[in-house]
Amino acid sequence: MPEVTSYQPGTPCWIDLMVPDQQAALDFYSGLFGWEGEVGPPETGGYATWSLRGKPVAGVMSAQSMGEEAPPPTVWTTYFCSADAQATSESISRAGGTVLMPVMDVMDLGRMLVAADPLGAVFGVWQPLGFTGAGLVNEPGTLIWNELNTTDREAASAFYAEALGVESTPMEGEGAEGYFALSVDGRTVGGLQPLREGMPPEVPPHWLVYFAVEDTDRISAKVSAEGGTVLRPPYDMVAGRMSLVKDPQGAPFALIAPKPMPSSPSGGTSQR
């Protein structure tokens, strides 16, 4: 079902965006998906939570430079649910990952960390306390899929299995050759694929977020009209009609109008 009240450890449970101009991002995505959100209070560093129909769907905050370091890149970050963030942090290190931001308390909402897998793909971990994560998924205007694009499938698969308990298996079906399903206890929670040939060499391994839409062509055109970029125009693929775009500040994400999938109770491409 689209509404979610809890997540199994290892399941993507939240996404957020780091941008130079937080208000511009708030305006862009609110106009694109019908989200609601405003700059948060000083005690949270201004962190803002977008909502749709009163349910949290994503977060956004201003990118801040640390000393003389360059500000973080403008990207969407995928967070995985954990029952114990500290234990997960230790598992990440044992598996060869790098903890970029150590475990920290976020008021009484939860505990979080940010890490990179051995190939360099950055992700977050969220231990829910007062805040579960996304309360609405798998329907238009919400998160529907999280996908790892990597340079070494076998190494990435081994890492996520050891660090987060996420297993990978070849995706079955026409048009799914070379694509792997990520699962937790047999439930599909995301995907994994090699970085596509022909992509610019500066594109590193990364997690890509997909948002469900009813009309990929219309929303892609809207991204372009609002100052974003269509990186790959809408096309039909096994799971639906999708496109790859960038927002006006450079954060890439995917759009998909999903085909009904009998394995997903919401009719989307993932199970949560």
Which residue is it, tokens 């096994």?
A: 238
pLDDT digits (tens, 9 = 90+) for 124-159: 999 999 999 999 999 999 999 999 999 999 999 999
Instruction: Give the model's confidence band at 7: pLDDT under 50 very low, under 70 low, under 90 confident, else very high.
Output: very high
Q: What percent of the chain has pLDDT over 70?
A: 90
Identity at 28, one-letter amino acid code: F
Confidence bin at 271 (pLDDT 50/70/90): very low
Please, what is the average pLDDT of the chain? 91
User: For 25-51, what is the mean pLDDT?
Assistant: 94
Give the pair of three-digit tokens for residue 74: 């403008």
pLDDT, tens only, 55-83: 999 999 998 766 667 777 899 999 999 99
SS3 readout for the chain: CCECCCCCCCCEEEEEEEECCHHHHHHHHHHHHCCECCCCCHHHCCCEEEEECCEEEEEEEECCCCCCCCCCCCCEEEEEECCCHHHHHHHHHHCCCEEEEEEEEECCCEEEEEEECCCCCEEEEEEECCCCCCCECCCCCCEEEEEEEECCHHHHHHHHHHHHCCEEEECCCCCCCCCEEEEECCEEEEEEEECCCCCCCCCCCEEEEEEECCCHHHHHHHHHHCCCEEEEEEEEECCEEEEEEECCCCCEEEEEEECCCCCCCCCCCCCC
Does residue 9 surpass a pLDDT of 90? yes
Residue 269 scores a pLDDT above 60: no
pLDDT at position 67: 63
Distance CA 141, CA 122 (A): 24
Q: What is the pLDDT of residues 194-231, one digit of tens each?
A: 987 556 667 899 999 999 999 999 999 999 999 999 99
Over range 243-253, report the average pLDDT.
Answer: 97
Burial class (CB in 10 A: 0-12, 13-18, 19+), 266: buried
pTM of the entire predicted model: 0.93
User: Domains in the chain, ordered, with CATH?
Assistant: 11-128 (3.10.180.10), 142-258 (3.10.180.10)
79-100 pLDDT per residue, tens: 999 999 999 999 999 999 999 9
148 beta partners:
192, 207
**Segment 26-54 mean pLDDT:** 94
For the cut 80, the answer to whether the pLDDT of residue 238 exceeds it is yes
* pLDDT greater than 60 at residue 265: no
Q: Using DSSP bridges, classify how beta strands 122-128 and 110-116 pair: parallel, antiparallel or unpaired.
A: antiparallel
**What pLDDT, on the 0 to 100 scale, is given for residue 63?**
86
Q: How many CA atoms are closer than 13 Å to the CA of 257, on its beta-carbon side?
A: 11
